Amino acid sequence: MEKILDRFLRYVSFDTQSDENSESQPSTAKQLKLLQLLCDELKALGVEASLDQYGYVMASLPSNLGGREVPAVGFIAHVDTAPDASGADIKPQIIDKYDGGDIPLKGVPGLALKPSEFPELLHYVGQTLITTDGTTLLGADDKAGVAEIMTAVQYLCEHPEIPHGPVKIGFTPDEEIGRGVVKFDVERFGAQYAYTMDGGEIGELEFENFNAASARIHIQGSNVHPGSAKGKMRNAILIGQELGSLLPVNQRPEYTQDYEGFFHIISFKGSVEEADFAYIIRDHDRALFEQKKELITKVVAFINEKYGAGTATLELRDQYYNMREMVQPHYHIVEKAVKAMEMAGIPAKIQPIRGGTDGANLSFKGLPCPNIFAGGLNFHGKMEFVPLQSMEKASEVILNLISLYAG
């Protein structure tokens, strides 16, 4: 058996950053290099696997239960890393037997992972931590999940005496930009139930996520020389700021938690003449989600009434919905995940995702798909790290789930 650490380090050596500005599928060709490697590794293990034109790796282990029929269960992870920080030339640091102190990130002098800032570090004293060197993200989101699935598959292939039903494996691109399963063929995948291995720290189990929408707002101003601007200039930057001020301050991400939703401005670019603002809108409650969309629509209408028709143009697009309504009728899949964690000696922490996963969209495509921890923390930035023992336990949970589905 290849050690999961070696596997993980190999996968994070690939730059697989996705690009939300690209229209292709996958959004970046470099993701295909790791996807092809995974397909080849599966085939080398004797697993039937394919990589399609959209960047989906799908693989299948047939049941060894004879004629006894059990549900096919799938495990899915994404290979892309977030656009928030560089995913190129990653130099992981391996901290053996972590002592509870500050961890210098040696690529940036003076930068360190500190328990005073990240107290969750102290949960992992004595364990092996993999961190960044401070210049890039690590890629545990979600290459930890990829490594965990591949390790479980290898174990099954090398231990054919272990009873299991049909097992399906999927690796996807572009999850970080919300397009991970846009063209994912659920029928071809062939699972009745699945799990994304894409959660955070050990024990996390999630079957609720935000309802999500994006709002892009274009402000058309009018620029004249400031010396003669009175009564003529309409400053697009200031109008955009005014629009933002009309949204409730207490519904910004920095003031919300648990099931509370938010409006979050994620980008701005512009000038006096014209400006573009981008927001994301989130809420677990579908009715409150619809109210938020209605509010931003009314705010744009108010700006147009005040400054003239066409001043503000809104492009509002739903991105994904709360998977709970699709998973709840099949709650036994959540109960099995809890049991699989208990078998591994892990207390399950069921909590809502303050975000989304491929599992949300897959659930609405007809494949109920809760989300299980991959083990990493501080995703999307240079403070990202993952405990080795959490990855090992996640792979054990996968094997336990396969055993439970086999009856």
pLDDT beyond 80 at 397: yes
Same domain, 78 and 200: yes
Sign of CA pseudo-dihedral 155, 157, 158, 163: positive
Q: What is the pLDDT of residues 105-151, one digit of tens each?
A: 999 999 999 999 999 999 999 999 999 999 999 999 999 999 999 99
Q: What is the pLDDT of residues 208-245, one digit of tens each?
A: 999 999 999 999 999 999 999 999 999 999 999 999 99
pLDDT at 178: 86
pLDDT at 314: 98
Q: How confident is the model at residue 1 (pLDDT cuts 50, 70, 90)?
A: confident
Q: Is 175 a catalytic residue?
A: yes
pLDDT beyond 80 at 181: yes
Q: How confident is the model at residue 357 (pLDDT cuts 50, 70, 90)?
A: confident
Final residue before a domain boundary, out of 300, 320, 340: 320
Sign of CA pseudo-dihedral 369, 374, 377, 382: negative
Q: Are 398 and 197 in contact (CB under 8 A)?
A: yes
CA distance linking residue 303 with residue 219, whole number of Å: 10
Same domain, 140 and 104: yes
Average pLDDT, the chain: 97
Q: What is the pLDDT of residues 150-168, one digit of tens each?
A: 999 999 999 999 999 999 9
> Quick check: bond before 19 cis, omega within 30?
no
Same domain, 49 and 171: yes
Same domain, 16 and 158: yes
Instruction: Point out which residues pair with 312 in neighbouring strands.
Output: 219
Same domain, 173 and 311: no
The active-site residue, picked from 15, 41, 133, 175, is 175
Strand boundaries in 157-246, DSSP class E: 167-172, 193-199, 204-206, 211-220
**Residue 141 maps to which CATH number?**
3.40.630.10
> Quick check: bond before 26 cis, omega within 30?
yes
Q: What is the mean pLDDT of residues 184-190?
A: 97
Final residue before a domain boundary, out of 287, 320, 353: 320
pLDDT at 83: 92
Q: Give the list of residues 6+ apart from residue 284 with CB closer than 8 angstroms, or none.
A: 208, 209, 210, 211, 259, 261, 322, 352
**Residue 219 maps to which CATH number?**
3.30.70.360
Tokens of 72: 């096919």
Q: Is 204 a catalytic residue?
A: no
How many folded domains does the chain comprise? 2
CA distance linking residue 63 with residue 167, whole number of Å: 7
Interior/surface letters 116-146, b for 16+ CB within 10 angstroms, e for the rest: eeeeebeebeeebbbbbbbbbbbbbbbbbbb
pLDDT at 355: 83
CA distance linking residue 360 with residue 323, whole number of Å: 5
pLDDT at 67: 87
pLDDT at 107: 96
Same domain, 281 and 380: no
Q: How confident is the model at residue 308 (pLDDT cuts 50, 70, 90)?
A: very high
Task: Give the chain's end-to-end CA distance (angstroms, integer).
Answer: 26
Domain that holds residue 379: 4-208+322-405
Final residue before a domain boundary, out of 305, 320, 335: 320
Q: What is the pLDDT of residues 63-72, one digit of tens each?
A: 999 989 999 9
Same domain, 134 and 34: yes
Helix or strand (DSSP H, E) at 381: none
Same domain, 246 and 175: no
CA-nearest of 403, 342, 334, 318 to 368 is 334
Same domain, 33 and 111: yes
Q: What is the pLDDT of residues 322-341, one digit of tens each?
A: 999 999 999 999 999 999 99
pLDDT at 387: 98
Write the DSSP symbol of residue 324.
H
pLDDT beyond 90 at 16: yes
Give the CB-side neighbour count of residue 70, counting CA atoms within 13 A: 20
Q: What is the pLDDT of residues 40-83, one digit of tens each?
A: 999 999 999 999 999 999 999 999 999 899 999 999 999 999 99
CA distance linking residue 221 with residue 232, whole number of Å: 10
Same domain, 191 and 299: no
The active-site residue, picked from 80, 198, 208, 283, is 80
Same domain, 254 and 382: no
Same domain, 177 and 220: no
Q: What is the pLDDT of residues 360-370, one digit of tens each?
A: 999 999 999 99
Helix or strand (DSSP H, E) at 39: helix 31-44
